[in-house]
Amino acid sequence: MRTTEFGLSNIYEDFPVDLKHLMENIKDHYVNLSIEEAVIVENVDNCIDERYSEIHFNMKSDGMLEILMLGDGIPPKIFFNTLPKIAATVKIPKKRVAALGRYGWGMKICMCVADYVIIETKYNNFHGAQSWKLFNGIPKRRKEQPKKKIRKNFTLITIKLTNEYKEKITSQFIEETLRKFYPTILRGARVQNRHGERRTLKMFVNSRPVAPPPEISYEKRKPLTVKIGSYKATGYIYLAKETLDKEDTGIAIIVHGRKITRDFFGTHGSMDQRITGYLHADMLIEDLAGDKTILRRNSSRWRKLSEGAAKQLAEFMKEIGAIREEKLPKKMIKRIHEEINNLIRHFPKLQELARKAGISVSREVLISKQDGEVPTKLEEGSQRTRGIEAGSKGGQGVPVKPGEEPDKAPSGEEGESRAVRSSRRRKRGLEIYVRPEPDIKKEAWFSPEGVIIVNSSFPTYKKADKMRSLEYHMERCAIEALLNYAIETEIIKKEEATKYWDEVFAKWGEL
């Protein structure tokens, strides 16, 4: 075989893979989950994705942890060829539903807590087994003789825990982890697998059904429903009778049975410590990031969900008296609105945030017209606006910039197309509310429903009032709230945030 001057052959070869560093990277990937939690939830996630009906965790006295999944198995080709590969998966969705375990890391994390791992499966007529073990950090595998005698399909993972993790992964720890991450499954909620099928999934520890988290004693409960296209997220908001632990406050976002995070959607009140609930939002499955405790907040799905949930949570808080708004002079609020709208016009990314939140910004837009007066380019990225051109009837509208649709619309840059100028305004304007929130250590924040809350209990508000500079304070708070939310949702990238922040405040000073 001929080689080049650099020692490479003249035929394609596999890239060298540093398996040790790959395994270290997988371990470092878990930021908001401990490794011992990851061992539990990753295997439950795999169970959810497939057609298993039960998952059993059995702790043995010799430090062996058995995870037995009943009702499904692994086909031979996947078991021997795909399963042992680092970050390999068959769960990339095409026409089927996206999966929690689509990264291909789940079972591999078991090696980080084990002297060795044995995986055995029965899938129809196939019955096989293999073992995995780390040698100086490098994963190795070998074929084993299957031993488990169960008539139905199953997968069994046997983990020989290291001395360190024998102390950490106990029966009690497993039960607490299952209650933390799968509260509604344990209460009997049906969960969807990657084939789009829904079923109940039973969980056991040492042959005993895992008890769900205790039911909340509540004063008031209200359904929570958010529609996003053809999908619907559903759940409940509760006002608990007593103060809750901090980790139990806010609305739990549950995706395919797994609790991802909790959120107030930018809506806060005087009873936050008693507000809880949940929202099943399977449509966010493709927005999960990292160790699946993080949601990508720049997606249109998350923004729409946040806006819908924020409105309903605000209504609920007003009903229970948790929100009390202070009135400011109408002339002051009007001036603040005009200042903010004027500032937003100079910054496309703030316009994008305003548009997505439904905030009204007066602006002159260009509408394509054959006998128009403005030479301009046509570019993709429009929204439909009812207007002056033929074909705009029947709810179709004409495309104008900016927007998310793939239609072309006049950009405003000099070009050969023709357009006319037309003043357009969004239906709902920017709303700024002043609320006393002594328990919230924030000066101001932006709610996805398009509302800015300024906290009158924060010391800077009180100082601004004494110094008769409240209008300046309100404007600064509103601008910072918009900028912070734009950075959080990645409309403004973190690496350009400081520069963008300075440019916005410099322009504000000039207006």
* pLDDT for the residue 145: 93
Total count of domains within the chain: 4
Residue closest to 123 by CA, chosen among 164, 157, 74: 74
Give the whole-angstrom CA distance, residue 317 versus residue 272: 9
Domain limit, last residue, from 424, 439, 458:
424
| pLDDT at residue 102 tops 50 | no
Residue closest to 41 by CA, chosen among 133, 86, 96, 103: 103
Same domain, 394 and 255: no
Note whether 10 and 4 are within 8 A (CB): yes
Same domain, 229 and 298: yes
Q: What is the DSSP letter of 82?
A: I
* pLDDT for the residue 360: 58
Average pLDDT of span 95-115 = 70
In a domain, 10, yes or no: no
Return the sign of the alpha-carbon dihedral for residues 193, 194, 196, 197.
negative
- Alpha carbons within 13 angstroms on the beta-carbon side of residue 80 total 11
Give the whole-angstrom CA distance, residue 148 versus residue 152: 11
* pLDDT for the residue 334: 85
Same domain, 306 and 175: no
| pLDDT at residue 381 tops 80 | no
Cα 115 from chain centre? 34
In a domain, 153, yes or no: yes
Reading the block at residue 183, the tokens are 């509260």
The confidence band for 100, taking pLDDT boundaries of 50, 70 and 90, is low
Q: Say which residue the tokens 């305003």 belong to.
A: 354
Reading the block at residue 335, the tokens are 């001036």
Direct distance between the N- and C-terminal alpha carbons of the chain, in angstroms, rounded to an integer: 72
Same domain, 38 and 91: yes
The confidence band for 393, taking pLDDT boundaries of 50, 70 and 90, is very low
Give the whole-angstrom CA distance, residue 126 versus residue 102: 24
* pLDDT for the residue 431: 78
Measured in residues, the chain has a length of 511
In a domain, 85, yes or no: yes
Give the whole-angstrom CA distance, residue 314 versus residue 244: 19
Q: Say which residue the tokens 């993080």 belong to.
A: 294
Which CATH number goes with the domain that contains 248?
3.30.230.10
| pLDDT at residue 487 tops 70 | yes
In a domain, 232, yes or no: yes
| pLDDT at residue 164 tops 90 | yes
Same domain, 383 and 504: no
Note whether 110 and 117 are within 8 A (CB): yes
Identify which has the larger pLDDT, 229 or 450: 229
Reading the block at residue 455, the tokens are 């906290």
Domain limit, last residue, from 209, 239, 270:
209
Give the whole-angstrom CA distance, residue 157 versus residue 505: 57
Same domain, 58 and 126: yes
Identify which has the larger pLDDT, 462 or 376: 462
In a domain, 324, yes or no: no
Same domain, 148 and 62: yes
Same domain, 227 and 288: yes
* pLDDT for the residue 425: 47
Give the whole-angstrom CA distance, residue 150 versus residue 156: 11
The confidence band for 462, taking pLDDT boundaries of 50, 70 and 90, is very high
Residue 5, beta-bridge partner list: none
Say what the pTM is: 0.76
Note whether 285 and 98 are within 8 A (CB): yes
| pLDDT at residue 71 tops 50 | yes
The confidence band for 223, taking pLDDT boundaries of 50, 70 and 90, is very high
The confidence band for 281, taking pLDDT boundaries of 50, 70 and 90, is very high
In a domain, 2, yes or no: no
Note whether 333 and 432 are within 8 A (CB): yes
Same domain, 243 and 106: no
| pLDDT at residue 40 tops 70 | yes
Domain limit, last residue, from 209, 237, 260:
209
Residue closest to 212 by CA, chosen among 259, 255, 268, 246: 259
In a domain, 404, yes or no: yes
Which CATH number goes with the domain that contains 72?
3.30.565.10
Residue 199, beta-bridge partner list: 191
Note whether 139 and 132 are within 8 A (CB): yes
The confidence band for 283, taking pLDDT boundaries of 50, 70 and 90, is very high
What percent of the chain stands above pLDDT 90? Answer: 50
Residue closest to 131 by CA, chosen among 72, 79, 182: 79
Q: What is the DSSP letter of 61?
A: T
Same domain, 164 and 228: no
The confidence band for 433, taking pLDDT boundaries of 50, 70 and 90, is confident
Same domain, 157 and 175: yes
> Where in the sequence is the domain holding 373, given as residue range(s)?
363-424
Residue closest to 277 by CA, chosen among 225, 347, 342, 231: 225
Reading the block at residue 86, the tokens are 């680092």
| pLDDT at residue 427 tops 50 | no
Give the whole-angstrom CA distance, residue 290 versus residue 422: 45
Q: Which of 2-11, 165-174, 240-249, 493-502 has the lowest mean pLDDT?
A: 2-11
Same domain, 191 and 257: no
In a domain, 5, yes or no: no
| pLDDT at residue 395 tops 90 | no
